[in-house]
């Protein structure tokens, strides 16, 4: 693990707490899923709904990885704007991916409603905020590309962005009404509960220790048991562990940390994000902020909290909060935590073809909608034998040169930025 989960706000306030036993003994299934995050739980739910027998194993507790540590912004699309996606995938595949991901927030909120998931859903949209006048150029480019493919986004001038955020520190914003915020851990645990209710069998504290494929059957071993299955989905993303017989696809690990205030008084909540949109900015070293259901302001930025330089991140956060909202300059920040993001060089998610199985990874910080979509699509493709439903064409191999050095570059850049900014 990368941080003490007891200090994570989402683990303190989660209203979805289903319990799943360790895997013990031998089991058989149509599909075995490794990883209990958005991708894995969505895959298990979809497969069970299609009538398949499913076993999902998670090394720790459901949502203990990035799914239980992120900001909780259920966004439409990816970090890349549409034309950049098309440059990587080609116009046909790129436009299809953008169209599918445009509907991903709707998929998320529909599942929340259908399964009565208690995850503080707030579909009030998101605001991509210009951190400086120069940030408006990026927002204008994104607005032009998104509206060209029919996205209902709106470019807000500075005055309106200030009114919507309650902060004089923003210089305009791109509003996306399709998106919203959720309690991210509660959502993934709600998906797990729904999957179990549909007939899937889920197991916590059951890390995969060895994987092999013999005679068209996958064999997965855990410390106390084993599973034989026709199909396999590897859904570990940024939290892959060493497994005998399996080389996890390389990703660039990037970290993101957060903290939360105490619930704000009613007078401040009338000024700060009165519409309850989730926000992030255009800075190269990105920041985000949002409210939870209790009125806490949750604020974060790029960086990890588990190394000797992490004090730079912790010391920067109160300065950033005060720069956004001077009324909060004396506010105490609590519940510091961080999580890990899996990036690819293209900033695009990948599906690796494992032969009667898939591995999915590389959401680059956009895991909620894409993870839900990709997990369900992979389960459907495996069980129906039709890969046409996959959001991206699967690939046979994947490599990232110097992935660890690239990760260190991002962390060093974030630490140096936080050393000098907002002083």
| Closest-CA residue to 155 (of 137, 132, 136, 174) | 174
Tell me if residue 67 falls in helix, strand or coil: helix
**Cα–Cα distance, 397 to 253 (Å, whole number):** 19
**Is residue 310 within 8 Å of residue 317, measured between CB atoms?**
no
**Is residue 33 within 8 Å of residue 43, measured between CB atoms?**
yes
pLDDT tens sequence for the chain (423 residues): 344 788 999 999 999 999 999 999 999 999 999 999 999 999 999 999 999 999 999 999 999 999 999 999 999 999 899 999 999 999 999 999 999 999 999 999 999 999 999 999 999 999 999 999 999 999 999 999 999 999 999 999 999 999 999 999 999 999 999 999 999 999 999 999 999 999 999 999 999 999 999 999 999 999 999 999 999 999 999 999 999 999 999 999 999 999 999 999 999 999 999 999 999 999 999 999 999 999 999 999 999 999 988 999 999 999 999 999 999 999 999 999 999 999 999 999 999 999 999 999 999 999 999 999 999 999 999 999 999 999 999 999 888 888 889 999 999 999 999 999 998
What count of residues does the chain have?
Answer: 423
Which of the 8 DSSP states describes residue 250?
P
**Is residue 356 within 8 Å of residue 218, measured between CB atoms?**
yes
Phi and psi based region of residue 158 (left: phi greater than 0; alpha: psi -120 to 50; beta: remaining): alpha
Tell me if residue 40 falls in helix, strand or coil: helix
Domains of the chain: 5-420 (3.50.50.60)
pTM for the model = 0.97
**Cα–Cα distance, 63 to 94 (Å, whole number):** 30
- Determine which helix (DSSP H) or strand (DSSP E) holds 154, and give its type and residue range: strand 154-156
User: To which residue do tokens 């410390």 refer?
Assistant: 223
- Determine which helix (DSSP H) or strand (DSSP E) holds 42, and give its type and residue range: helix 38-49
Tell me if residue 41 falls in helix, strand or coil: helix
**Cα–Cα distance, 108 to 101 (Å, whole number):** 11
Half-sphere exposure of residue 73: CA atoms within 13 angstroms, side-chain side: 27
């Amino acid at each position: 693990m990368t941080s003490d989960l007891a200090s994570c706000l989402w683990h303190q306030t989660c209203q979805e707490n289903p319990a799943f036993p360790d895997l013990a003994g031998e089991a058989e299934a149509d599909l075995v899923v490794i990883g209990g995050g958005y991708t894995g739980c969505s895959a298990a739910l979809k497969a069970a709904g299609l009538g398949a027998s499913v076993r999902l194993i998670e090394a720790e507790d459901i949502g203990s990885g990035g799914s239980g540590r992120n900001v909780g912004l259920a966004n439409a699309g990816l970090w890349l704007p549409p034309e950049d996606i098309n440059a990587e995938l080609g116009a046909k595949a790129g436009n299809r991916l953008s169209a599918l991901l445009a509907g991903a927030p709707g998929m998320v909120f529909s599942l929340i409603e259908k399964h009565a998931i208690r995850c503080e859903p707030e579909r009030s949209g998101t605001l991509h905020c210009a951190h400086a006048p120069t940030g408006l150029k990026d927002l204008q480019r994104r607005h032009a590309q998104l509206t060209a493919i029919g996205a209902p986004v709106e470019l807000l001038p500075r005055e309106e962005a200030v009114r919507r955020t309650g902060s004089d520190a923003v210089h305009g914003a791109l509003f996306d009404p399709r998106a919203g915020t959720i309690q991210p851990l509660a959502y993934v645990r709600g998906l797990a509960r729904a999957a179990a209710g549909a007939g899937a069998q889920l197991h916590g504290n059951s890390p995969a220790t060895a994987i092999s494929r013999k005679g068209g059957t996958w064999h997965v071993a855990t410390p106390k048991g084993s599973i034989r299955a026709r199909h396999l989905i590897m859904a570990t993303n940024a939290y892959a562990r060493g497994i005998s017989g399996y080389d996890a696809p390389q990703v660039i690990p990037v970290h993101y940390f957060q903290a939360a205030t105490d619930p704000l008084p009613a007078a401040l909540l009338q000024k700060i994000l009165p519409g309850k949109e989730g926000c992030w900015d255009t800075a190269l070293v990105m920041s985000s902020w949002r409210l939870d259901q209790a009125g806490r302001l949750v604020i974060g930025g790029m960086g990890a909290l588990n190394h000797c330089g992490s004090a730079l991140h912790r010391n920067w956060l109160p300065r950033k909060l005060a720069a956004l909202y001077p009324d909060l300059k004396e506010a105490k920040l609590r519940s510091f935590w961080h999580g890990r993001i899996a990036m690819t060089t293209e900033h695009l998610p990948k599906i690796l073809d494992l032969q009667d199985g898939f591995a999915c990874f590389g959401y680059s910080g956009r895991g909620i909608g894409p993870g839900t979509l990709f997990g369900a699509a992979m389960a459907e493709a495996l069980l129906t034998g039709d890969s046409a439903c996959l959001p991206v064409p699967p690939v046979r191999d994947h490599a990232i040169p110097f992935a660890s050095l690239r990760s260190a570059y991002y962390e060093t850049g974030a630490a140096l930025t936080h050393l000098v900014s907002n002083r």
